[in-house]
Amino acid sequence: EDKVVQSPLSLVVHEGDTVTLNCSYEVTNFRSLLWYKQEKKAPTFLFMLTSSGIEKKSGRLSSILDKKELFSILNITATQTGDSAVYLCAVGNQGDKIIFGKGTRLHILP
């Protein structure tokens, strides 16, 4: 059965800290791995990763994929209170389905 496992499930840090969120997966016919940020309602897209070892960056956020070890990390440097959210990892397979993890709830203390 396809699955996506995120860790930790929740995390509380102080503003300015750097955090690393983890996502491991077991998915048949992997096509891509995606990261989303969900604040109150709709998840918003952050990154899509398809190739191993190529870091994607957007401001203070970055992510990398390891297809050999079947995991990805999402890094957030110099965290701000606005980074508080649930971060969702999802994996798409060749069958056009996307499997989501349970998310990591991140809370940034001022």
Partner 1 sequence: DGGITQSPKYLFRKEGQNVTLSCEQNLNHDAMYWYRQDPGQGLRLIYYSQIVNDFQKGDIAEGYSVSREKKESFPLTVTSAQKNPTAFYLCASTTAVSTDTQYFGPGTRLTVL
Pairing of strands 104-109, 10-14: parallel
Closest CA to 61 of 49, 43, 79, 48: 79
Roughly how many angstroms between the first and final C-alpha of the chain, as a whole number? 41
Site residue total, partner 1 (CB under 8 A): 23
Map residues 28-67 to x or -, x wherever contact with partner 1 holds by CB under 8 A. Answer: ---xx-x------xxxxx--x-------------------
Amino acid identity of 63? S
Contact call for residue 24 and partner 1 (CB under 8 A): no
Contact call for residue 103 and partner 1 (CB under 8 A): yes
CA atoms of 63 and 6, how far apart (whole Å): 14
Q: Which is nearer to partner 1, 39 or 78 (CB)?
A: 39
Residues that bind partner 1 (CB under 8 A): 4, 6, 9, 31-32, 34, 41-45, 48, 88, 90, 92, 96-103
